[in-house]
Amino acid sequence: MAGWVCTKCGYLYDDRFGDPEHGVVAGTPFEKIPDTWVCPRCKATKAFFVKKRD
């Protein structure tokens, strides 16, 4: 699993599931999400996300 966590609200982006409600299909790596995408929970930009450590 590749996960990225929003440092503002704790939302976890999991590439296995994507964010289909906001146009990101399952299997999309975080790096491939458009820069216009924002956190679905708090609207933070991608710059506020850090890679989840295992």
pLDDT of residue 1: 60
Long-range Cβ contact pairs of 31-37 (< 8 A, separation 24 or more):
none
What is the DSSP code string of 1-43? --EEEETTT--EEETTT-BGGGTB-TT--GGGS-TT-B-TTT-
Return per-residue pLDDT of the chain as tens, 54 residues. 679 999 999 999 999 999 999 999 999 999 999 999 999 999 999 999 999 976
Q: What is the pLDDT of residue 12?
A: 97
Query: What pLDDT does residue 53 have?
Result: 79
Number of domains the chain is built from = 1
Burial of 17-44, coded b for 16+ CB within 10 Å and e otherwise, reads ebbeeeebeeebebeebeeebbbeeeeb
Residue 54: the pLDDT is: 67
Domain that holds residue 18: 3-51
CATH code at position 7 = 2.20.28.10
pLDDT recorded at residue 19: 97
